[in-house]
Amino acid sequence: MKYKGRFGDYGGFYVPEVLIPVLEELEEAFYRFYEDQQFVAELSQLSREYAGRPSPLYYAKRFSEHVGFKVYLKREDLLHGGAHKVNNTLGQGLLAKYMGKTKLIAETGAGQHGLATAMIGALFGMETKIFMGVIDIERQSVNVHKMKLCGAEVIDVEGGTGTLKDAINDALRYWTGHVTDTFYLFGSACGPHPYPTIVKHFQTCIGKEARQQCLEQLGKLPDMIVACVGGGSNAIGIFSGFIDDKDVRLIGVEAGGRSLNSGKHAATLVVGSVGILHGAKAYLLQDEEGQIHDTESVSAGLDYPAVGPEHCLLKDTGRAEYVAAEDDEVLDAFGLLSKSEGILPALESAHALAYLVGQKGKLDADQIVVVNLSGRGDKDVSIVEKRRPLEN
Amino acid sequence: MKTYNQVFSELKGQNRTALIPFFVIGDPDFDTSVRIVKTAIDAGADVLELGIPFSDPIADGPTIQKADIRAMKSGMNLGKALKFIRKVKDYRDVPIGLLMYYNLVYQYGTEKFFNDFHKAGVNSVLVADLSIDDADEIIGPAASAGLDTVFMVTSVTGPERMKLIASKTTGFIYTVSLLGVTGSRENLSDTIEGLIGKLKELTNVPVCVGFGISKPEHAAAVAQAGADGVIIGSKIVGLIENNLNDREKMLAKISTFLGEVKNAI
C-alpha cells in the first residue's frame, strides 16, 4: 500500500494477506482517478442527473417551534434511492467501471446501501450481489424487493446475529475468493484502508453543499451539525464541510437501542473500547477478551459494533461529540417530524432528530442547527407501525 | 520444548512431509477437544495448528465458523485455551502454532499474550488479520517471548512482497494454496507448485501449504510439489461436525483420515 490509512492510531488495513493485493489495486485506482478530469465530470453529471444533487437545505419551521431553536434539514432523503448512500455507490461504481471490473458485491444493513448498489449495478450493467443478514432481510423486506427489481441477487447471511456485521464478514469472505473480477462496494466510512478515505471522499459533497447553502440562505454558518452514526459515512460527509470551522459544534448520534444500561444498543463511540474488527482499529463493542458483542437497534443501518476510524479520532481530539439516542426517543422523533413537517425520516436519521428534541430548552431560540436527514423513512413504516400502533 | 527447526529437520532426513492438522480449541467441548487432539497426535501429527475461537472469523469458511461457534458455546476462553495447550504438551511434545484473529491478542496485550502462550507450550502465533505491513506490531514481542514467526503467502502475493514476508519468517511460511477462505475443495489449485518453487528460492524456512486440502491425494500432490508440511483444517473439522452425536466414531474417523494422509506424504 502507498498510504497507511491511519487517522491517528485508528484505521489501517488489518486483513488477511489474500486481500492485500486487491486493496492495493483499489488504492492505486482511487488516487489515479478521483481527481481525473473525465472521472470528475462523469460523476458530477451522474450526481446531478441520476441522483438528484444538490439536495436542498430546508428550514423545518414547525419542527423548530417544537424544539425552540432553528432546525435546518439537509435533505439527503430526497436523493434517488432515498438516502445519501447513492453518493458513495455512484462514486465507487464509476471507479469499478474505470478499473474494468464487471461484478459488484456489497453488504447492507437497512438495505439502503444494498439498494443504492443494486441501482448502480443496473445503471452500469454490472452483475451485483448484495449480502444481507437474515434478520435485516426480514425487517427491511421492501428494500430487499427493490434490490431484486434492480436485478441484484440478495444473499442471505445466517451467521452470527444475522445483521450488518455478519453481512460484512460474508462479503469479505466472498471477496477473498473472487478478487480478480469483483469490486467490493463498501457502504460506510469504515473497514480497511482505503475504504474510509474513499467513502468519505464521495460523501464530502454533503458537507460542501451544506456549508455553501448555509452561507447563501442564512448568511452565516450554523452553530451545530447533527448526524446519526452507524459506520459513520453520512456524518463524516457533512462534518467534513465544517471541520475547519472551529465554532461549529459537530454532534454524532449513535444508536442507544433499548438503553445503554441494558447492553442492547450500538453506541460504539459512547461506551465502546478500542480494538480491531473488519480491517480497522477503531472503537468496538466487545467483551473483555475481545469477542464482539451483539448489537441492537430499532434501525438496521446503525446496528453495528464498530465505527469509522476518523470518528474515533474526532472523538479523542474532542472536535466532534458523540451521544446516543434510545429507540423510544427515536420513535418519538420519527413521529414528530412526520406530523410537524410531513417528512418521514429514516429511523437512522431520526436518531439525530431525537438528539434535537433532547436539546429543547438548552439552545437559544436564534441558534441554528443543521441536521443531516440522511434518508427517508418509507422503508421503516412497518417497523414504526409495530412499535407505535396508530390509535385509529 | 521441541522447535519447528528440530521437527522439520528430522522429517527432511527421513524424506517426509509434516502432517499438520488444524483444530479449533474447545470444539465441540473442552474434554472432547483434548481427546481429538491426542488422537491426531497418535495418528501421526508432526505439528499442531490450533485456533482460539473468535466471534467474527473473516478468513474462515463455514465449517470453521461453525466450529468457532460450538467452542464458544461450550465456554472456551483464553484461560481455558492456556490450560488446553498445557494438557496437550503434557501428553506429547509436539510443536504448536496458534492461528488467531488480532483482536483477541490485542485485548489480552500482545506481549503478555505471547509470553503466556509461549510458556504454555506454543511455538508461534499466526495472526490471520495482520499482514506483513503491520508485522512490527508483533515481531518484537514474538522474539522477546521466544516465539517463531509464521506468515501467510498466497498465489496473488507479488514477488517483492514475498521476499519481505520470507525475510521476516522464522518458523514456517503458511502458503495458501488457493484464493478464498478456509474450506475443503474438490480440486487443488495448479499454481501451488510454482508458488512453492518461488518460495524455496527465497528462503530456507519450511514452506507449508494449507486451505482446501481434503483428500490424501491432495496432500500427496502438495508433498510432491515440494512442500515441507501439509496443513489440513476444514476437512477434519467437518468430521467433528458430522459426528457430533457419536464421539467414538468421530475419533475413529479422524484417526483413519489422518492415517491415510500420513501414509500419502
Active site residue B49: yes
CB-CB: which of B54, B57, B156 is closest to A21? B156
Nearest CA in chain B to A164: B56
- The pLDDT value recorded for residue A315 is 98
Angle of helix A195-218 relative to helix A309-317, nearest 10 degrees, comes to: 60
CB spacing of B107 vs A178 below 8 angstroms: no
Cα–Cα distance for residue pair B61/B53, rounded to 1 Å:
13
CB spacing of B59 vs A16 below 8 angstroms: yes
CB-CB: which of B58, B106, B157 is closest to A290? B106
Give residue A376's region: left, alpha or beta (phi > 0; psi -120 to 50): beta
Residue B29 in this model has a pLDDT that exceeds 60: yes
User: What pTM does this model have?
Assistant: 0.95
- Interface test with chain A among B63, B69, B131, by most A beta carbons within 10 Å: B131
Q: Could you tell me if B104 lies within 8 Å of chain A, comparing CB atoms?
A: yes
- The pLDDT value recorded for residue A54 is 98
Nearest CA in chain A to B100: A16
Q: Could you tell me if B113 lies within 8 Å of chain A, comparing CB atoms?
A: no
- The pLDDT value recorded for residue A177 is 85
For residue B129, list chain A residues with Cβ-Cβ distance below 8 A.
14-16, 276, 279
- Interface test with chain B among A14, A131, A166, by most B beta carbons within 10 Å: A14
- The pLDDT value recorded for residue B156 is 86
- The pLDDT value recorded for residue B155 is 86
Cα–Cα distance for residue pair A78/A69, rounded to 1 Å:
24
Q: Specify the residue for cell string 517471548.
A: B145
Q: Could you tell me if B158 lies within 8 Å of chain A, comparing CB atoms?
A: yes
In this structure, chain B runs to a length of 265
Q: Could you tell me if B152 lies within 8 Å of chain A, comparing CB atoms?
A: yes
Tell me the residues of chain B between 192 and 251 that have a Cβ less than 8 Å away from chain A. Answer: none
Residue B189 in this model has a pLDDT that exceeds 70: no
- Output the average pLDDT for chain B: 94
Percent of chain A as helix, strand, coil, to the nearest 5: 45, 20, 30
CB spacing of B108 vs A289 below 8 angstroms: yes
Q: Could you tell me if B137 lies within 8 Å of chain A, comparing CB atoms?
A: no
For residue B57, list chain A residues with Cβ-Cβ distance below 8 A.
169
pLDDT truncated to tens, each residue of chain A (392 aa)? Answer: 999 999 999 999 999 998 999 999 999 999 999 999 999 999 999 999 999 999 999 999 999 999 999 999 999 999 999 999 999 999 999 999 999 999 999 999 889 999 999 999 999 999 999 999 999 999 889 999 999 999 999 999 987 778 888 999 999 999 988 888 999 999 999 999 999 999 999 999 999 999 999 999 999 999 999 999 999 999 999 999 999 999 999 999 999 999 999 999 999 999 999 999 999 999 999 999 999 998 999 998 999 999 999 999 999 999 999 999 999 999 999 999 999 999 999 999 999 999 999 999 999 999 999 999 999 999 999 999 999 988 75
Residue B131 in this model has a pLDDT that exceeds 60: yes
CB spacing of A276 vs B132 below 8 angstroms: no
Q: Is ipTM strictly over 0.90?
A: yes
CB spacing of B107 vs A290 below 8 angstroms: yes
DSSP conformation letters of A293-317:
PP---SSGGG--S---HHHHHHHHH
Residue B66 in this model has a pLDDT that exceeds 90: yes
Q: What b-and-e string marks burial along A143-180, b requiring 16 or more CB atoms within 10 Å of the CB?
A: bbebbeebebebbebebbbbbbbbbbbbbbbbbbebbe
- The pLDDT value recorded for residue B179 is 65
